[in-house]
Amino acid sequence: MVIDFSIGKIIVTVNEIQCRFHDNQIVLTASVDDMSCFHQGLVIAADAGTVRWSIKLDNAAQLEQVLNCTGIQAQ
């Protein structure tokens, strides 16, 4: 599934989330097992030990799409 948001695209599969940013061609990738989602703040976050990143989404519908596709339980 591809979700467009204000600064790029989020590509979501059952195993992986990939965030691609338009302007600077940065790609962040993480396994679903390393991801957390937060309703408050509309944030998806990756924590794979020494590598961490987070993205604030534009709206609740985008977060729900990520949750539905991955099966992650939001906090």
Q: Spell out the domain ranges in the chain.
A: 2-70
CA distance 2 to 43: 17
8 A C-beta contact, residue 63 and residue 42 = yes
* β-bridge partners, 43: 38, 56
Task: Express each pLDDT in 25-70 by its tens digit.
Answer: 899 999 999 999 999 999 999 999 899 999 999 999 999 999 999 9
